[in-house]
A = this chain, B = another copy of it.
Amino acid sequence: MDVKTLCLGLLSVRPACGYDLKKTFGTSFKHFFPAGYGSIYPALADLAAKGLVNCEEIPQVGKPDRKVYSITKAGERAFIDALNRTEPQHKLRSEFLAMIYFADLMDDNRLAEVLDDHVEQLRETVRYIEHQEMAGSKTAGASFVAGFGAVIAQAAAEYIESHRHMLTPAPESEPQEDALTNCKWAANG
């Protein structure tokens, strides 16, 4: 399932222009399937060429015509079809985790910064989803997906905070007395 198919899906909910779709990809879809103009506009042109969507150009003053795309019957069929045929992949690509894998080669300050930033980003994601997405979700699917994002981000933030001590050799000030300090899996119930 690519950006093109997802555009089709979003247009099955309501008509929209490329700019509108970009907003959706940049907010609701951001945490699991972000996309930019460079993918969206060609996708829309392609869908229109295949007769899966119609395009109505609405003249505007001071900006380009607003091209409002709406799904056709053929488009609806094609989307349902894609939904049933596509196998649901779920791929993470995390330079963050790759970096942490090599934490022992990193400068301590840099490591702390990377960890702090990532946790903050995750917490912001949780806040955003809980305030913006959950409130505004109309379909069950949208709510489920928003909730999923929030729960995962929350779990990730908690894991990082409760396990980051694993990554730093010693708390520098006092020499450790407790053997559990070095235990790899403490707090990993």
Q: A22 CB to closest chain B CB, in angstroms? A: 16
Binding stretch for chain B, among A43-51, A52-60, A77-85: A77-85
- In the complex, the answer to whether A144 meets B32 with C-beta atoms within 8 Å is no
- In the complex, the answer to whether A79 meets B105 with C-beta atoms within 8 Å is yes
> For the complex, is A66 an interface residue (Cβ under 8 Å from B)?
no
Contact (A90, B95) CB under 8 Å given A79-B105, A141-B100: yes
- In the complex, the answer to whether A188 meets B147 with C-beta atoms within 8 Å is yes
A143 nearest in chain B by CB position? B184
Interface size range on A against B: 35 or more
Which secondary structure dominates where chain A touches chain B? helix
- In the complex, the answer to whether B31 meets A144 with C-beta atoms within 8 Å is no
Alpha-carbon gap, A166 to B100, bound state (A): 36
* Most interface-central of A79, A106, A155, A166 (chain B CB within 10 A): A155
Contact (A145, B88) CB under 8 Å given A140-B166, A152-B159: no
Q: A77 CB to closest chain B CB, in angstroms? A: 11
> For the complex, is A33 an interface residue (Cβ under 8 Å from B)?
yes
A97 nearest in chain B by CB position? B32
Enumerate A137-167 residues with CB–CB distance to B below 8 Å.
Answer: 137, 139-145, 147-149, 151-152, 155-156, 159-160, 163-164, 166-167
- In the complex, the answer to whether A185 meets B33 with C-beta atoms within 8 Å is no
